Amino acid sequence: MPSIPRLTESAIRHWTDDVYFQRGQSYYAGGAIYEQRRQGMTIKSKCSGSQAPFYRQEVVFNSKGIESAQCSCPVGAGGHCKHAVALLLTWVNDPDSFQEIEAFDAALEKRSKAELIALVKQMLEQEPDLESLLDLPLSAEDSAPMDMKAIRRQAQQAFRGVDYEWGGHGYTGEIEHSLQPLLNLASDYLARGNAENSAAIYTTVIETIFDNEEVAMQDEEGELLGLAHECAEALGTCLSKINDPKKRREILEALFGAYKWDVQAGGVGAADSVPEILTAKTTPEERVEIAKWVRDIMPKGKEWSDNYRREVLGKFLLDIEADTLDDEAYLKICRQTGRLNDLIERLLKLKRVEEAADAARGAEDYPLLNTLGIFTKHKQAALAEKLVTERLEKIKDTRLLEWLSERRKERGDWAGSLQLEERLFWPRPNLEQYKKLRKPAKELNRWDELRTRIIAELEKKKDFGLLVQIHLHDKEVGLAIAALGKMPEQWMSQSLKIEVAQAAKSQYPQESIRLYVEAAARIMDNRDRGNYSQAAQYLRETREIYRQLNDAPSWDKLIADIRERYKKLPALQSELNHLKL
């Protein structure tokens, strides 16, 4: 049997992250791993779960270390979860507990027919749901006609196995596992040139997923929706290999059904590739029929969801009828389905500039924002600016004001830009907007006056947090310290305090020491185990400042007092030792 390379806990930590590693350590220490076994370069186990009775893990090694891993838990794709970590730690610390098992093929080849039958019966007694597999062909080589009823039963059985007592959304991985024999069979048929049987299976799987909409939509990891997407792409491959009109129509209907479901669900990614398939892999006659299907499901309401679906379906219509639409027909679809960008793009290409402008004028703020780049691309930047300026007094989307301000800066209209920047700043003062005020105000020699007014207004409103940020940005560290001192403790963020402490190290070292120590004390007093390392980092910064001051005695007294005061916090003491404090 090949040798699995030596594995260390450090390698396991590198394979995952600190959080999952620590949780995996707890699972390993608690004996959660059982039925651990080794099969060549693969180790497997079960692990007691929090949302299910157990999860299955599998890790495959190569000559360099871990090649791949998998766990059936909700976050187990890729095998970086706590359950896989627990399996790996078990292998590192107790490899002798793993039962050596033969490769499946070798073990089965040793059995007689009678023994194999007896073995299958025992398996079915333990897992009765596997009985449906007996109806399926073992591979595409089977010459018997494919039993579609058996295919459907197997697909439906995968969903009947969902254990809602434990929260059905946690079992989508198990559903995918149960569907895998069907997917393997479909892939096998396709590889052997039987696209019709392959398509029938993929169609059954994708329709069964959508029939179980509640489970699919609860799938937080997107496994089932991803599976539906893969089936749709496979159906596209099958379509390109089938010429029979009836069989092709069956595939087209299945693909369009998937697309319709996805659009009605709000675009969840289950059928993203379908429009391209139905556009690129169909005949002109088929595209005419598909266009009729699209029009049949076009919503007529005025709700947001109706507008969204109209736009999506409108894009599909423009693509699938691209070869037959003249300009007017194209523009009509754009208007009917709310495809504003496509409408303006085509109008500008046709040099129908005023029509494009009128269409933009009728749009809300956000859609208008998305058209501005189109106007600019077609050398109509001045018109784009005019469209925004026309609605200047009633604009609600501030991104339009930001765009217009930048446009005015580009052409040197500093007064116009400053007017917009102030309009953006005063309702919600913030540091980024403060920075944007500087350039136009300086160009107009108004910055000192404006800044004085800003500082006075912020002091009046007691917005000391922003004052601290402004003073730090302007390198006024003393004023930043003073503003910080006026802030109520409950409003003061640790990050702001540390930002001031870092800025104060050179000019105001004693203030910097005070702020670092206060920040560390807050963590230590709250017994915040997860941040003891951060507290130690703050204290290390404090030590460096004392060293710059050549004041080792004060540091020695401070750290001695802290170690004595918090001597009953071993985790903190460990972090201090780690940094040699």
The answer to whether residues 247 and 346 belong to one domain is yes
Helix segments in 297-378, DSSP class H: 304-320, 327-337, 340-349, 353-361, 365-377
Domain boundary among 377, 395, 417: 377
The answer to whether residues 207 and 300 belong to one domain is yes
Element (H, E) at 65: strand 65-71
Q: Is residue 57 part of a domain?
A: yes
Range of the domain at 57: 9-103
Strands 54-62 and 65-71 come out as: antiparallel
Spatial contact of 442 and 470, defined as CB atoms under 8 Å apart: no
The answer to whether residues 166 and 90 belong to one domain is no
Copy the structure tokens of residue 407.
């446009």
Q: Is residue 422 part of a domain?
A: no
Residue 287: the pLDDT is 97
Residue identified by tokens 């302007």 is 474
Residue 279: the pLDDT is 96
Q: Is 128 helix (H, G, I), strand (E, B) or coil?
A: helix
**CA distances in angstroms from 434 to 417, 430, 441, listed in the order given:** 13, 6, 11
The answer to whether residues 329 and 227 belong to one domain is yes
Q: Is residue 466 part of a domain?
A: no
Give the burial class of 150: count Cβ atoms within 10 A of its Cβ; 0-12 exposed, 13-18 middle, 19 or more buried: middle
Domain boundary among 69, 85, 103: 103
Distance (Å, rounded) from C-alpha 548 to C-alpha 166? Answer: 59
Distance (Å, rounded) from C-alpha 148 to C-alpha 205? Answer: 11
Taking the CA atoms of the chain, what radius of gyration do you get in angstroms?
A: 33
pLDDT by residue for the chain (581 residues), tens only, comes to 578 999 999 899 999 988 889 889 989 988 999 999 998 899 999 998 766 678 889 999 998 899 999 888 867 778 899 999 999 999 999 999 999 887 666 666 677 777 666 766 676 566 666 566 556 565 556 555 778 888 898 888 888 755 544 444 446 777 887 888 899 889 989 988 999 999 999 999 999 999 988 887 876 667 788 899 999 999 999 999 999 999 999 999 999 999 999 999 998 888 999 999 999 999 999 999 999 999 999 999 989 999 999 999 999 999 999 999 999 999 999 999 999 999 999 999 999 999 999 999 999 999 999 999 999 999 999 999 999 999 999 999 999 999 999 999 999 999 999 999 999 999 999 999 999 999 999 999 999 999 999 999 999 999 999 999 999 999 999 999 999 999 988 777 889 999 999 999 999 999 999 999 999 999 999 887 778 889 999 999 999 999 999 999 999 999 999 999 998 888 889 889 988 98
Spatial contact of 522 and 494, defined as CB atoms under 8 Å apart: yes
Q: Is 209 helix (H, G, I), strand (E, B) or coil?
A: helix
The answer to whether residues 190 and 272 belong to one domain is yes
Residue 299: the pLDDT is 94
- 39 DSSP β-pair partners: 42
Q: Is residue 188 part of a domain?
A: yes
**Is pTM beyond 0.75 here?**
no
Q: Is residue 349 part of a domain?
A: yes
Residue 18: the pLDDT is 85
The answer to whether residues 89 and 181 belong to one domain is no
Structurally, the chain folds into a number of domains equal to: 3
- Single-letter amino acid, residue 403: W
Distance (Å, rounded) from C-alpha 275 to C-alpha 336? Answer: 19
Spell out the SS3 assignment of 356-403. Answer: HHHHHHCCCHHHHHHHHHHHHHCCCHHHHHHHHHHCHHHCCCHHHHHH
Number of neighbours of residue 191 by Cβ within 10 angstroms: 10
Spatial contact of 46 and 54, defined as CB atoms under 8 Å apart: yes
Residue 348: the pLDDT is 98
What is the separation of C-alpha 47 from the centre of its chain, rounded to a whole number of angstroms?
27
Buried b (16+ CB within 10 A) or exposed e, 418-433: bebbbebbeeebeeeb
Spatial contact of 371 and 357, defined as CB atoms under 8 Å apart: no
Distance (Å, rounded) from C-alpha 183 to C-alpha 530? Answer: 45
What contacts 515, CB < 8 A, 6 or more positions away?
Answer: 484, 497, 498, 500, 501, 504
Copy the structure tokens of residue 60.
């495959």
The answer to whether residues 300 and 244 belong to one domain is yes
Domain boundary among 377, 403, 428: 377
Q: What number of CA atoms fall less than 13 Å from residue 507's CA on the CB side?
A: 13
Strands 33-39 and 54-62 come out as: unpaired
Closest listed residue to residue 224, CA positions, set 77, 70, 55, 84: 77
The answer to whether residues 212 and 347 belong to one domain is yes
Closest listed residue to residue 563, CA positions, set 546, 545, 576: 576
The answer to whether residues 39 and 94 belong to one domain is yes
The answer to whether residues 208 and 298 belong to one domain is yes
Residue 55: the pLDDT is 86
Q: Is residue 170 part of a domain?
A: yes
Residue 143: the pLDDT is 55
Spell out the SS3 assignment of 477-518. Answer: HHHHHHHHHCCCHHHCCHHHHHHHHHHHCCCCHHHHHHHHHH
Residue 361: the pLDDT is 96
The answer to whether residues 39 and 152 belong to one domain is no
Residue 168: the pLDDT is 43
Distance (Å, rounded) from C-alpha 55 to C-alpha 97? Answer: 19
Q: Is residue 165 part of a domain?
A: yes
Q: Is residue 459 part of a domain?
A: no
Closest listed residue to residue 351, CA positions, set 326, 324, 370, 379: 379
The answer to whether residues 241 and 355 belong to one domain is yes
